[in-house]
Amino acid sequence: MSSASQHDPELARTLILDELFDLSLYKALRGVTKPDTRHVLDELIVVEAGHLAFWQQFFDSRLDRLDVGRRIKLQLIILVCRLFGETGVHLALEAIEVYGVRKYLSLWRSYKGQPLGKALEGILRDELQHEDVLVTRLTERKINPERIRNIFLGLNDGLVEILGAVSGFFGAFGNPVMVLMAASTTAAAGSLSMAAGAYAAISSEREVQATEAAKKEFLGDKSGGANLPDRPLGSALVVGASYFVGAMVPVLPVLFGAKSAVVSMVAAGSVAILVSTLLAFLSGMDIKRRILLNLAIIALAVSVTYLIGMVANQLWGISV
């Protein structure tokens, strides 16, 4: 077995603590789940305990206590799972599965042909086969990925677009009452537009897939029917409502007396960090990268729209 001195100590620490985190989370979630989910967690606990023991032996390390950051993350995920019940648990399991697979695939490519690469092959088989099957067994019948996507899509679009509008209106008008009126009507119009777009897009997609399924049936293709997307009306309502909720984040500070776009920017930035963190966690992306990307987009939108508002004011003499 390998010596810890032969490998990057930080990498060894990360691999051990990540497995310890997963194991600790699965054990904690047993107390907030139903029997069918608890059964899956019991199987995952066995897998993670094996992974933890393997890395501890491979790196000759008895590290068995989470660091402060992971302990805080653990408590936050448990809190979210308690608040949202089974759906929260299933989302957490799916996110951890995605993150684990991406992490180990990246490491395997980097250390392929080396002792660590060989060690990673066994862990990857568990991630790609055993854990994938166990988690998917729950998530495929409990979670609607399209609905989750629609919620975050609408929320993020409403947040960024209306924050840009608020910034531009302050640059053009400078009067909070006018900004509130303009931003509110823009938010309402945007939510209706997003809902209509989602309805049209999903309706068209369902029609195309239904036609393909009918063709296969006529030709005797037994490969299965079309996997139709979510119902158009339901998706439209989810997207439109999510957009409006996101849009209200920069509008509400103006409603409560904000005299500039600064308060709206702070509120929108805080929510953007939260949304980015959730998106990154659920998709297995790097959380810091996702947050910085979203904040950069917001900063660009605010700067451009405020500049446009100021130019419009100077060119056309807008005054209130």
pLDDT of the residue at 227: 58
At 67, the pLDDT band (50, 70, 90 cuts) reads very high
Least confident interval from 49-58, 115-124, 162-171, 184-193: 115-124
Domains of the chain, by residue range, sit at: 4-142, 145-316
pLDDT of the residue at 188: 92
**Whether residue 320 has pLDDT greater than 50:** no
4-142 maps to which CATH number?
Answer: 1.20.1260
pLDDT of the residue at 310: 86
For the whole prediction, is pTM greater than 0.85?
no
Region 168-173 average pLDDT: 88
For residue range 13-34, what is the model confidence (pLDDT) as tens digits? 999 999 999 999 999 998 888 8
pLDDT of the residue at 132: 62
3-state class of 174 per DSSP?
coil
pLDDT of the residue at 99: 80
pLDDT of the residue at 146: 66
Q: How far is it, in rounded angstroms, from Cα 174 to Cα 106?
A: 50
CB 207 within 8 A of CB 184: no
Task: List % helix, strand, coil for the chain (3-state, nearest 5).
Answer: 85, 0, 15
**Whether residue 66 has pLDDT greater than 90:** yes
Least confident interval from 77-81, 210-214, 242-246: 210-214
Region 46-64 average pLDDT: 88
CB 191 within 8 A of CB 241: yes
**Whether residue 172 has pLDDT greater than 50:** yes
For residue range 253-276, what is the model confidence (pLDDT) as tens digits? 999 988 888 999 999 989 888 888
258: tokens are: 């904000």
Average pLDDT, the chain: 82
Query: What percent of the chain clears pLDDT 70, i.e. is strictly above it?
Result: 87
Q: How far is it, in rounded angstroms, from Cα 90 to Cα 82?
A: 12
41 burial via Cβ count (<10 Å: 0-12, 13-18, 19+): buried
For residue range 202-232, what is the model confidence (pLDDT) as tens digits? 888 888 877 877 777 777 776 655 555 567 8
pLDDT of the residue at 1: 47
